[in-house]
């Protein structure tokens, strides 16, 4: 069993896609074991994406992520990190395979509907960024 962090981003929340996206996680065998809807502060958005601080898109990324509410989830299941990345599709929706969340629902590389941890180590850090242990309801 593995856990990964997922964020349903402001574009997808604004377009009423929460249910459509969550059903894809569950159909892939991933359980939602923690969830919080929130509107990030600038400090939270900068802190979460600190690894991208030097990238040219950092400022736009932070502004976008605080442009509206998001849904932060922990997904649990076999190979949760890899499975979630497969379901999401490529970062740039123009390159995402048909049937993936980003292909079907995302508009641009910034407004790309979802975020997912890229490795088990980052998943652990990202989970700890948002959740306390007693907010996680494991199915195991
Ligand atoms: P996400 O998985 O949330 O991680 C960082 C985000 O930066 C990424 O999704 C994209 O939405 C955004 N981004 C914007 N431009 C780029 C880029 N050139 N490469 C990677 N990510 C980008």
Number of helices (H), then strands (E), in the chain: 7, 4
pLDDT digits (tens, 9 = 90+) for 7-56: 999 999 999 999 999 999 999 999 999 999 999 999 999 999 999 999 99
The overall pTM is greater than 0.95: yes
Return the residue whose CA atom lies nearest to atom 20 of ligand 1.
Answer: 91
CB distance 112 to ligand 1 below 6 Å: yes
CB distance 118 to ligand 1 below 6 Å: no
ipTM of the complex model: 0.96
Could you tell me which of 77, 71, 98, 65 has the C-alpha nearest to residue 25?
77
Asked whether the beta carbons of 3 and 79 are under 8 A apart, the reply is no
The pLDDT score that the predictor gives to residue 140 is 79
Asked whether the beta carbons of 7 and 126 are under 8 A apart, the reply is no
Which structural domains are found in the chain, ordered by start? 2-132 (3.30.70.141)
pLDDT digits (tens, 9 = 90+) for 83-137: 999 999 999 999 999 999 999 999 999 999 999 999 999 999 999 999 999 999 9
């Amino acid at each position: 069993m593995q856990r990964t962090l997922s964020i349903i981003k402001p574009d997808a929340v604004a377009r009423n896609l929460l249910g459509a996206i969550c059903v894809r996680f569950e159909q892939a065998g991933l359980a939602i074991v923690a969830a919080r809807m929130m509107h990030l502060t600038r400090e939270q958005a900068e802190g979460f994406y600190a690894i991208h601080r030097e990238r040219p898109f950092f400022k736009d990324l932070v502004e976008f992520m605080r442009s509206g509410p998001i849904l932060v989830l922990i997904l649990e299941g076999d190979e949760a990190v890899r499975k979630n990345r497969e379901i999401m599709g490529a970062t740039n929706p123009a390159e995402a395979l048909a049937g993936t969340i980003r292909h079907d629902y995302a508009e641009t590389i910034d407004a790309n509907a979802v975020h997912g941890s890229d490795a088990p180590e980052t998943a652990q850090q990202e989970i700890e960024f948002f959740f306390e242990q007693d907010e996680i309801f494991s199915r195991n």
